[in-house]
Each structure stands twice: as structure tokens, then as C-alpha cells.
Amino acid sequence: MQRARQRQSTDEWQRRYAHRAGVEGTIAQGVKGFGLRRSRYRGTAKTHLQHILIAAAMNLTRLDAWLTGTPLAATRTSRFAALRLAA
């Protein structure tokens, strides 16, 4: 556990994790809002096309939110953080 924490303090680990952290939100949006977890089709060609169309739909949704000035959703506050805020 201590070795893992030491690794997390290196610049290389933080650079790689920053990339992953940026992608996680996009994947979550695709899964929750656009059904990215399961494919409707069999075969790689149709599945690939579905992923391309989902990516286009996500981009259009983000563009619409940007043009209309829709604010980003607030993230959930954990119970531990809520205790700290209540104090």
C-alpha cells in the first residue's frame, strides 16, 4: 500500500491519471445517457457505427448545452464531506 502511494506521488503517475480522470466523465456520460454499455448490434462494423453515432450525439448534446448556457450539474457531496460542511 505504501509503495502504491509513493508511486502516486510521481510525475509520471499523475500525468497518466490526469488523462484517465478526463476520460472517465465522458465514458460515464455515454453509459448513463446514451446506452454505451451494450451494443444493439452483432458484429464489429455495426457496433463501431453505433459508437460513432453515440459520440456524435454526445458532441451535439454538449454543443447544445454550451449554446444555451446550461450550467454543469453539481457533483454529489459524499456523506463524509457533508459532515465536514455541517460543522
pTM: 0.68
Q: How many domains does the chain have?
A: 1
Q: What is the pLDDT at residue 55? A: 96
Q: What is the pLDDT at residue 77? A: 85
Q: What is the pLDDT at residue 17? A: 87
Q: What is the pLDDT at residue 78? A: 87
Q: What is the pLDDT at residue 76? A: 83
Q: What is the pLDDT at residue 51? A: 95
The 3-state DSSP class for residue 21 equals helix
Q: Name the phi and psi angles at 74, rounded to 5.
A: -70, 145
CB atoms within 10 A of CB 76: 8
**What CA–CA distances, in Å, run from 86 to 2, 3, 80, 81, 82?**
32, 35, 10, 9, 6
How far apart, in whole angstroms, are the C-alpha atoms of residue 13 and residue 69?
35
Segments in the chain below pLDDT 50: none
Q: Domain range holding 66?
A: 2-86
Greatest CA separation for the chain: 55
